[in-house]
A and B are shown apart, each in its own frame.
Chain A
Amino acid sequence: MKYHMISWMVFLPIIGTLLQVFLPEKKSKWLALGSSLAASVAALFLVMSLGTDSADPQAGEVFAWIGSYAIRYDMAVDGFNILVVLLLALLFPVLIACEWTRAEGVKGMYSLFLLLQASLFGALCAQDLFLQFSFWGLSALPFYFLIGIWGGEGREKAAFRTMMASVVGNSLIFAALVLIYYSLEPHTFSIHEIAQGAIRQAVVPVFGTSVKVTTLACLLMCGGLALRAPVWPFHGWFIEAAEEAPPSVLVALAAGVVPVALSLFVRMSYCLFPDVLRAHAPALVLIGLTNLFMGALSAVAQKSLRTLLAHVCISELGLILMGAGSLSPEGLVGSLYQVLMLGIGLAGFGIFLSLMTDRVGSSVFIGTPGTSHKLGMQAPTIAVVAGVVVASLLGFPGFGGFVGHALIMIGGFSARPWSIFPLSLSFLLVSAALFRMYRSIFLGKAQVSGGPDVSLREQLAIVPLVILMCVCGIYPKPFIEMIRPTALTMLSLLHRDGE
């Protein structure tokens, strides 16, 4: 593409970060919002201009970067990443707006958000494994500072654990990267070249036996992504981060990093390791169901909005894994669509958490006297927003989550009918957890003063998310059209290779 929209999208936030050094603190919030919005405009331009009749990567930009190692600056958008690009484009300006009134260390916080936005965009669009890993690895760094500096009482431990989970995850991915690169002749990091299939023949000696490179690399890469995603049982750090991180950072983690990790997982498994995916699809469904059930079961026991959000996130990502493992068109399309809806839903939940924390000073909604707020009449807008978010997360008809849930259930049922039963049970548990929370906070007679309803700034932050939740539920066609060609092409290649 002659306008280099992807590069603008990735580097505008970095330029914004660098400029933060030279501007006074008063102007830094405008600069941060401006550069984030500019990147989002570039992202929206990419989304609008994506051709829906082709599965090929579009808006590609390819330059040699480190020629000695065949590493290229290779960026493109396709059905695998376009909806997450849209998600991040909406998410980061909203996050910056959420931190508008923060008084302490704003320049640092905005810089880190912008760096995070750039690195996630980069990881998402990179078509070269080295480039992708560089961006993905970089995205771990801001969280350490964001949690460590602006977090709650136990921020040191939470920041440390978050960093260690990222480091271990990145080490596994790094090992996979080295293995893939040196298993191919000529060496390459290009996802498209690796996807041609030469790697499937390669073997590597492990303790005297020959193991297929694809199997080992897939295991390492999935392990690495599972740590960052965070897939059960590697989710301990995530719960702790959820308890200590500021609400906006928690949203960035749950609605930014998790969808990107899932998107990368789907891309890697379908493009690079189709043979492994075909062989181990039932295991993937089982992992998905375990996450779905464990997340849902834990959600029921939560008394804080923060940990509730974290467990709902774990549960929902299980649903996406299940869809990806169904190897059916409905399941895969539903997964890719649900990644967007998961991000939007969790972002909405996070903003609701932020509003509640600002007003009542705590994220605990049940358990101790005075925490049962009954704010429905005092803050009706917040009640409506929370209602829409809950409805979308639970997949109520007319809201975005419904389409994703329905497609994954259809795909899952056609591939593995038994999976519907644990899936339905998990939905019931999540519904119980979310409705209990809603009842405790909004319904009934008010016990404590909940403060004012949403301000204009807060409305501006919420409205785009609520609109998208509703639009995606009522008219999902344009979004599905964006992902369908890529999903169908990948599935047909997967099944053709299997025959």
Chain B
Amino acid sequence: MKDVILILPEIVLAGTFALVLLGEMTRFGESLHLSVFIALAGLAIAFIETCIIYQVGAPLVPIFHGAIVVDGFSLFFKCFFLLLAAFHLITLPDDIPRARLSEYCALTLASVMAMILASEVAEMFLGFLSLLFLSLTSFFMLATRRQSIVATEGSMKLLLAHTLATGFFLYGSGLLFAATGCGDITSMQAALLAHPLPMHVQVVVFTLFFLGFSAPLGAFPFSLIVPDILEGAAIPTAGFFAIGSRTAGMAMTLRFILGIFTHQGDQVWHVVGDWNFTRLIAIVISLTLLCGGIMATMQESLKRMVGYLIVAETGFLLIGLLVLDKIAVAALLYNLVIELFALCGIFYILAFFAGDVRGMLRSAPFEGVCFVVFFLCLVGAPGLPGFLGKFTLIGAAVHHKRFAIAGFAILTMLLGHAAVAKLSYQMIGDGGVALAPSRSRIGVLLCLLVPLILLTLFSDTLLLFASRSLGFLGGAEILM
């Protein structure tokens, strides 16, 4: 019974998903569409339940025989995904036909369930299934504009990349299962501590694992297709995918890599075995950062530029994993929250201007200023909360003597600013899309902007919340 209570938010989501599908099947030309409201109500109930579980205190025990862990970490991500989905449904893309609204709502709910599952899974086989679930839901969402060749190409690239990555993960899991004889991450860690793998096996297993997570993360080499995927999709869908899928990938990466390949120290994690896998992560980070930063400055298409900026962000986030430090992982979570607001704002405004921001500062000054502020927040401009986020991650790299990574990160910050300056350059002057003033649009933007400003003033609260959410970092004894 306890197991069921702890996954009540997921049950509510599944019920809502069923209701929306039922509504879609029984619909017969009615003009009133309740599917969005039903979906939003389901998300709200799931959010409240998640908050109650968080407030009461998650028991930090695995449920369903160790397949799932409901701890502060997974609850943090659950809140994150529910908020993201609610925002996405409130600002649904206009180009979705009314007849397909229920289908789109159902897909959104399915995606959220996939993301939540990815954040709480603690067993290899279920991990594989959650990666597949995530790939499929992302594919279907991105392919909603199937009449567009670019969208179809992007979604196919995503499916292929994710399938390939899931295959890597499966091979890695298989090797690890063969070596340890167990499937859940806690037992695997214990087995690896008792009998470390030979170095060459360790290299292969970790590389396969990391490649498996690289696709949802958008890390190098999969970073090269991220802009293609985003370019084809409807802009709000691209935003939902760019934030959600990547964050789910990050949650899974953290849980699996820290849970299996490291053991808990006082403030840091120590690598299990002879091979220091952080070298591989450092190379991936450097390439991801530089690929994102340099390519972002070279783009003519706004959507592609955002895509590369997101890639660079992934590089920044991975610094939190690289240094294997509690404070850095908390900083990573902090950055994810900042990104949530900043990217939602960017994609929301972008949807209205269809990628053409020429003359935006004159035609829609409020939206223009918000757009620049969201971008500056994303790239870490001083005085905005994104800056503290970048400082915490780059600082962690310096603290652990990763000076080269810190240098790359600062260079990428600089390139990110250059890309934003280039974008802002287009926003000055005349031309572009003329937009009628809208109070609802200003309201939505204020809903994103005000939390960002508050996060600047009360950064510590969010940092503490992030630290407290790292329940699973207590190590094996807590998970047991």
**A interface with B by C-beta (< 8 Å):** 64-69, 105, 108, 119, 130, 133-138, 141, 144-145, 148-149, 155-156, 159-160, 163-164, 167-168, 170-171, 174-175, 177-179, 181-182, 204-205
**Is B180 an interface residue, CB under 8 A from the partner?**
no
Q: Is the CB of A135 within 8 A of B391?
A: no
Q: Is the CB of A69 within 8 A of B392?
A: yes
Q: How far is the CB of A149 from chain B (nearest CB, A)?
A: 6
Q: Is the CB of A119 within 8 A of B414?
A: no
Contacts A141-B383, A167-B418, A170-B382 given: A68-B425 contact, CB under 8 Å?
no
User: Which chain B residue shows the least CB distance to A161?
Assistant: B421
Q: How far is the CA of A137 from the CA of B388 in the complex (A)?
A: 12
Q: How far is the CB of B461 from chain A (nearest CB, A)?
A: 10
Q: Is the CB of A134 within 8 A of B383?
A: yes
Q: Is the CB of B382 within 8 A of A66?
A: no
Q: Is the CB of A68 within 8 A of B327?
A: yes
Q: Is the CB of A171 within 8 A of B361?
A: no
Q: Is the CB of A159 within 8 A of B327?
A: no
Q: Is the CB of B428 within 8 A of A164?
A: no
Q: Is the CB of B425 within 8 A of A160?
A: yes
Q: Is the CB of B425 within 8 A of A159?
A: yes
Q: How far is the CB of B300 from chain A (nearest CB, A)?
A: 16
Q: Is the CB of B410 within 8 A of A160?
A: no
Which B residues are CB-close (under 8 A) to A148? 361, 424-425, 427-428
Which A residues are CB-close (under 8 A) to B391? 69, 130, 174, 177-178
**A-contacting 9-mer, from B127-135, B207-215, B395-403:** B395-403
Instruction: Report, nearest first, the 7 A-B pairs whose CB atoms are least far apart.
Output: A137-B382, A138-B383, A167-B417, A148-B428, A163-B421, A134-B383, A66-B460
User: Which chain A residue shows the least CB distance to B330?
Assistant: A68
What are 30 A-B residue pairs whose CB atoms fall within 8 Å in the complex?
A64-B460, A65-B459, A69-B391, A69-B463, A105-B365, A134-B383, A137-B382, A137-B383, A138-B384, A141-B383, A144-B424, A145-B361, A148-B428, A149-B361, A156-B425, A159-B428, A160-B422, A160-B424, A164-B417, A164-B418, A164-B421, A167-B418, A171-B410, A171-B413, A174-B382, A175-B407, A175-B410, A177-B391, A178-B395, A182-B395
User: Which chain A residue shows the least CB distance to B392?
Assistant: A69
**Is B76 an interface residue, CB under 8 A from the partner?**
no
Which A residues are CB-close (under 8 A) to B413? 171, 174
Which B residues are CB-close (under 8 A) to A177? 391
Q: How far is the CA of A168 from the CA of B411 in the complex (A)?
A: 9
User: Which chain B residue shows the least CB distance to A108?
Assistant: B365
Contacting residue for A160 out of B394, B406, B421, CB 8 A: B421
Q: Is the CB of A182 within 8 A of B382?
A: no
Contacts A148-B424, A160-B425, A178-B395 given: A65-B418 contact, CB under 8 Å?
no
Which A residues are CB-close (under 8 A) to B384? 138
Contacting residue for B429 out of A65, A156, A160, A163, CB 8 A: A156
Which A residues are CB-close (under 8 A) to B460? 64-68
Q: How far is the CA of A134 from the CA of B391 in the complex (A)?
A: 11
Which B residues are CB-close (under 8 A) to A119? 383
**Is B387 an interface residue, CB under 8 A from the partner?**
yes
Q: How far is the CB of B476 from chain A (nearest CB, A)?
A: 26
Which A residues are CB-close (under 8 A) to B362? 149
**Is B22 an interface residue, CB under 8 A from the partner?**
no
Q: Is the CB of A136 within 8 A of B382?
A: yes
User: Which chain A residue shows the least CB distance to B456?
Assistant: A134
**Is B376 an interface residue, CB under 8 A from the partner?**
yes
Main secondary structure of the interface of B (DSSP, over half): helix
Q: Is the CB of B381 within 8 A of A137?
A: yes
**Extra inter-chain contacts (12) besides given A66-B388, A66-B459, A174-B410, CB under 8 Å:** A69-B463, A105-B365, A136-B382, A137-B382, A138-B382, A145-B372, A159-B428, A163-B421, A164-B421, A171-B413, A174-B391, A204-B403
Which B residues are CB-close (under 8 A) to A156? 425, 428-429
Which B residues are CB-close (under 8 A) to A67? 460
- 8 A Cβ contacts from B400-458 to A: 401, 403, 406-407, 410, 413-414, 417-418, 421-422, 424-425, 427-429
Which B residues are CB-close (under 8 A) to A182? 395, 398-399
Which B residues are CB-close (under 8 A) to A164? 417-418, 421
Write out, one digit per residue, whether chain B residues 299-312 have a CB within 8 A of any chain A CB (1) or not (0): 00000000000000
**Is B354 an interface residue, CB under 8 A from the partner?**
no
Q: How far is the CA of A64 from the CA of B407 in the complex (A)?
A: 29
Q: Is the CB of B398 within 8 A of A167?
A: no
Which A residues are CB-close (under 8 A) to B34? none
Contacts A68-B460, A149-B362, A178-B391 given: A155-B428 contact, CB under 8 Å?
yes
Contacting residue for B403 out of A135, A136, A205, CB 8 A: A205
Contacts A134-B383, A149-B428 given: A66-B394 contact, CB under 8 Å?
no
**Is B467 an interface residue, CB under 8 A from the partner?**
yes
Q: How far is the CB of B296 from chain A (nearest CB, A)?
A: 14
Q: How far is the CB of A486 from chain B (nearest CB, A)?
A: 26
Q: How far is the CA of A388 from the CA of B86 in the complex (A)?
A: 63
Q: How far is the CA of A137 from the CA of B407 in the complex (A)?
A: 19
Q: How far is the CA of A204 from the CA of B394 in the complex (A)?
A: 16
**Is B369 an interface residue, CB under 8 A from the partner?**
yes
**Is B96 an interface residue, CB under 8 A from the partner?**
no
Q: How far is the CA of A19 from the CA of B424 in the complex (A)?
A: 25
**Is B464 an interface residue, CB under 8 A from the partner?**
yes
Which A residues are CB-close (under 8 A) to B369? 108, 145
Q: How far is the CA of A138 from the CA of B406 in the complex (A)?
A: 22
Q: How far is the CB of A118 from chain B (nearest CB, A)?
A: 10
Q: How far is the CA of A145 from the CA of B360 in the complex (A)?
A: 12
Q: How far is the CA of A170 from the CA of B427 in the complex (A)?
A: 23
Q: How far is the CA of A26 from the CA of B330 in the complex (A)?
A: 47
Q: How far is the CA of A330 from the CA of B413 in the complex (A)?
A: 41
Q: How far is the CA of A155 from the CA of B424 in the complex (A)?
A: 12
Q: How far is the CA of A171 from the CA of B407 in the complex (A)?
A: 10
Which B residues are CB-close (under 8 A) to A133? 382
User: Which chain B residue shows the least CB distance to A130?
Assistant: B391
Residue of B330, B372, B398 ringed by the most chain A CB atoms within 10 A = B398
Which B residues are CB-close (under 8 A) to A155? 428
Q: How far is the CA of A137 from the CA of B428 in the complex (A)?
A: 21
Which B residues are CB-close (under 8 A) to A163? 417, 421, 424
Q: How far is the CA of A178 from the CA of B407 in the complex (A)?
A: 11
User: Which chain B residue shows the least CB distance to A159?
Assistant: B428
Which A residues are CB-close (under 8 A) to B381? 137, 141
User: Which chain B residue shows the least CB distance to A183?
Assistant: B398
Q: How far is the CA of A148 from the CA of B357 in the complex (A)?
A: 14
Q: How far is the CA of A178 from the CA of B396 in the complex (A)?
A: 9
- 8 A Cβ contacts from B452-480 to A: 459-460, 463-464, 467
User: Which chain A residue shows the least CB distance to B391?
Assistant: A178
Contacts A149-B361, A178-B394, A178-B398 given: A167-B425 contact, CB under 8 Å?
no
Q: How far is the CA of A168 from the CA of B421 in the complex (A)?
A: 12
Q: How far is the CB of B167 from chain A (nearest CB, A)?
A: 40
User: Which chain B residue shows the least CB distance to A148?
Assistant: B428
Q: How far is the CB of B80 from chain A (nearest CB, A)?
A: 20
Q: How far is the CA of A119 from the CA of B382 in the complex (A)?
A: 11
Which B residues are CB-close (under 8 A) to A145? 361, 369, 372
Residue of A66, A135, A144 ringed by the most chain B CB atoms within 10 A = A66
Contacting residue for A167 out of B399, B414, B463, B464, CB 8 A: B414
Q: How far is the CA of A412 from the CA of B403 in the complex (A)?
A: 40
Q: How far is the CA of A184 from the CA of B424 in the complex (A)?
A: 38
Q: Is the CB of B376 within 8 A of A178?
A: no
Which A residues are CB-close (under 8 A) to B361? 145, 148-149
Q: How far is the CB of B302 from chain A (nearest CB, A)?
A: 16
User: Which chain B residue shows the least CB distance to A65?
Assistant: B460
Contacting residue for A134 out of B387, B421, B467, CB 8 A: B387
User: Which chain A residue shows the least CB distance to B413?
Assistant: A171
Q: How far is the CB of A169 from chain B (nearest CB, A)?
A: 10
Q: How far is the CB of B232 from chain A (nearest CB, A)?
A: 30
Q: How far is the CB of B254 from chain A (nearest CB, A)?
A: 19
Q: How far is the CA of A179 from the CA of B407 in the complex (A)?
A: 11
Which A residues are CB-close (under 8 A) to B407? 175
Residue of B391, B414, B464 ringed by the most chain A CB atoms within 10 A = B391
